[in-house]
């Protein structure tokens, strides 16, 4: 079994760099390690179920479990479980290791009242984990609403979670994206229903900018020129380039 420190070194070496596919794509000011995280729940929160839990991912892309894809994987939700001791073995399939092998970015929690510790872990197409995970998060479920059908909480669509509309941004700044009820994946995955994010920025008197995140990224850092923009995101099906969903635009100001 590889040592803990060997796995850290391997993860850092394998971490995908920001591809220079578009001049606006940048890197964070500080070194950012690859990680998974929850975008709408924090440690210590109390919730009622059913609850839609959303996933985020830094410096890696998503890819459904169709074939190997460098720098990409799929999420796993660990429930009341620590990280595995051996990162060379595939993760098990049970209620404490929940797999999202289609490229999902969310799930609906249906826990009964109680206290739970949650954590995200990214793994490859064979369910062998990367050293890419979230901090443990403890939550309390205060009530389970039996009259709510979990399926009704998932409405297909895409959204820009960050930045918020109207907030001035000094580059480079982070853009976090989300897909609900839809599957996200590296462009190498050509299965029907799998798509990648495309950012569209419009500015008066300038050409429209389109940034295709073909590596399955769900988060990027941008450094656009100063100006006022309308920014939106699309999910584009990999197989035929058809737009599967489009977000509402946000107002983006980049000061001089």
In whole angstroms, what is the distance from residue 196 CA to residue 212 CA? 7
Statement to judge: residues 173 and 123 lie in one domain = no
27 within some domain: no
3-class DSSP string for the chain: CCCHHHHHHHHHHHCCCCCCCCCCEECCCCCCCCEEEECCCCCCCEEEECEEEEEEEECCEECCCCCCCCCEEEEEEEECCCCCCCCCCCCCCECCEEEECCCCCEEEECCCCEEEEEEEEEECCCCCEEEEECCCEEEEEEEECCCCCHHHHCCCEEEEEECCCCCCCCCCEEEEEEEECCEECCCCCCCCCEEEEEEEEECCCCCCEEEECCCCECEEEECCCCEEEEEEEEEEECCCCCEEEECCCEEEEECC
The residues, ordered by sequence, that sit 6+ positions from 238 with a Cβ below 8 Å of its Cβ are: 185, 187, 188, 189, 190, 191, 194, 195, 196
Domain stops at, among 136, 153, 170: 153
Q: Tokens in use for 250?
A: 């946000």
Statement to judge: residues 208 and 147 lie in one domain = no
Statement to judge: residues 48 and 108 lie in one domain = yes
214 within some domain: yes
Kindly report the CATH number assigned to the domain that includes residue 49: 2.60.40.10
In whole angstroms, what is the distance from residue 61 CA to residue 153 CA? 25
Domain that holds residue 213: 157-254
Site of tokens 């983006």: 252
Domain stops at, among 128, 153, 178: 153
Statement to judge: residues 168 and 130 lie in one domain = no
* Phi, psi at 20, each rounded to 5°: -85, 55
Statement to judge: residues 36 and 76 lie in one domain = yes
Domain stops at, among 153, 170, 191: 153
26 within some domain: no
Statement to judge: residues 95 and 143 lie in one domain = yes
Q: What is the pLDDT along the chain (256 residues), one digit of tens a residue?
A: 444 334 444 444 444 444 447 999 998 866 678 999 999 999 999 999 999 999 999 999 999 999 999 999 999 999 999 999 999 999 999 999 999 999 999 999 999 999 999 999 999 999 999 999 999 999 999 999 999 999 999 999 999 999 999 999 999 999 999 999 999 999 999 999 999 999 999 999 999 999 999 999 999 999 999 999 999 999 999 999 999 999 999 999 999 9
Contact status, residue 175 vs residue 163, Cβ threshold 8 Å: yes
Q: How many domains does the chain have?
A: 2
């Amino acid at each position: 079994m590889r040592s803990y420190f060997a796995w850290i070194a391997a993860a850092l070496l394998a971490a995908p760099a920001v591809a220079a596919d578009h001049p606006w794509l940048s890197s964070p000011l500080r070194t950012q390690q690859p990680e998974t995280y929850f975008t709408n729940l924090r440690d210590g929160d109390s919730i009622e179920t059913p609850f839609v839990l959303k996933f985020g991912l830094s410096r890696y892309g998503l890819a459904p479990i169709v074939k190997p894809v460098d720098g990409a994987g799929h999420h796993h939700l660990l429930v009341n479980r620590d990280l595995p001791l051996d990162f060379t073995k595939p993760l098990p399939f049970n209620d404490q290791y929940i797999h999202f092998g289609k490229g999902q970015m969310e799930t609906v929690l249906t826990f009964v009242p109680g206290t739970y510790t949650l954590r995200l872990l990214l793994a490859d197409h064979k369910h062998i984990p990367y050293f890419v995970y979230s901090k443990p998060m403890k939550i309390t479920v205060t009530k389970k609403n039996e009259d709510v059908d979990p399926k009704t909480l998932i409405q297909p669509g895409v959204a820009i979670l960050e930045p918020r509309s109207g907030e001035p941004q000094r580059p480079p700044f982070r853009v976090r994206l989300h897909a609900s009820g839809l599957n996200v994946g590296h462009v190498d995955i050509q299965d029907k229903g799998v798509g990648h994010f495309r950012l569209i920025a419009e500015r008066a008197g300038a050409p429209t900018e389109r940034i295709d995140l073909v590596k399955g990224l769900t988060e990027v850092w941008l450094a656009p020129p100063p100006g006022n923009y309308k920014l939106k995101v699309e999910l584009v099906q990999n197989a035929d380039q058809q737009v599967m969903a489009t977000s509402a635009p946000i107002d983006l100001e980049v000061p001089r």
